[in-house]
Amino acid sequence: MRLSTKARYGARALVDLALARPEDTTCVRDIAERQCISPKYLEQIMARLKAAGLVKALRGRHGGYALSRPAASITIKELFEVLEGPVAAVECVDDPASCPMSDVCPTRETWVQMKQALQNVLEQTSVQDLVDRENQR
Amino acid sequence: MRLSTKARYGARALVDLALARPEDTTCVRDIAERQCISPKYLEQIMARLKAAGLVKALRGRHGGYALSRPAASITIKELFEVLEGPVAAVECVDDPASCPMSDVCPTRETWVQMKQALQNVLEQTSVQDLVDRENQR
DNA sequence: AATATCCCTACTAAGAAAGTAGGATTGTAG
DNA sequence: CTACAATCCTACTTTCTTAGTAGGGATATT
């Protein structure tokens, strides 16, 4: 059960944007270079973040990306759902009807607890929290 | 970040074994039929559980599998690590040296927290807990 | 008009997941 | 002692996902 590079790269990209002044834009090439990510791949990731409304883009020369909201209001859970999909590790957690035994299955409750535990962590962490950590060093 | 069928099937198989008398053995075919799992696939899963010492096997006619310890002493975390691998969703959590930026990276701490949260749930749940849930209905 | 940026789509190579398949080995019951 | 039912072992296959690569189109600035 590994986290994809999309989610990890995306998190670092958001922190990178949050470190810039909110009114400035940062181009993909610069983020990619600082974060050691393939620029073309990061482009796709940023496109998804934009579609989800987490960042906004400015096209043309001197264009780039910026957070669309204050870093403190963007949670890692949002990022996770955009780039990694549902937090639930088993389908029946979100959709009991997907398994005919959902209402009797003793394992399902554990998968539900797993989701809740994960979600707690992801919801409680904002991009600003990550920035604060970075600044503490 | 989905849980594999191996882990899910394995969990159900252990519960199935726990429902039998401890001194009895249950053959793969029976478990597979009750749990709606491909018998040949379940064979491979049981082999892994045996190699990890969670179950013991008896060969030959009227052979089969049984839990090697009381159900209350087998945690889902053990099962998870055998069939799903490390609980950490990112490599640097268990092995900081795998990434040169581990000691500065602000995202790592969140991945660590994710692991801890998951681990809490998995450690606190034993096969016996699952059996108890099943019996409550 | 040149250029630097985002935007969009398609392609690919490698690996993992989820089984399928076929038989070898072993212990027991008749 | 023989047939059989079970585990054991290894290889194969098919499908899906991941992690990119590639090439160009649209657009705004200088």
Q: What is the pLDDT of residues B101-130, one digit of tens each?
A: 898 999 999 999 999 999 999 999 999 999
Domain assignment of residue B89, given as a range? 5-135
pLDDT at A79 over 90: yes
Number of domains observed in the structure of chain B: 1
Q: Which of A2, A8, A12 is nearest to A133 (CA)?
A: A12
> DSSP of A9-62, one letter per residue?
HHHHHHHHHHHS-TT--B-HHHHHHHHT--HHHHHHHHHHHHHTTSEEEE-STT
- What was the pLDDT predicted at A137? 82
Q: What is the CATH number of the domain that holds A32?
A: 1.10.10.10
* CA–CA separation, A3 and B2 (whole Å): 10
Q: Does A131 touch chain B (CB under 8 A)?
A: yes
CB of B94 less than 8 A from some CB of A? no
| pLDDT tier at B35, thresholds 50, 70, 90 | very high
Q: Find and give the residue nearest to D22, measured CA to C1'.
A: A40
User: Which residues of chain B lie closer than 8 angstroms to A15, CB-CB?
Assistant: 106-107
Q: What is the pLDDT of residues A109-126, one digit of tens each?
A: 999 999 999 999 999 999
Query: Is there contact between B56 and strand C, defined as CB under 7 Å from any strand atom?
Result: no
- Nucleic strand C near CB of residue B38 (< 7 Å): yes
pLDDT of residue B20: 97
Distance, CA of A25 to chain centre: 19
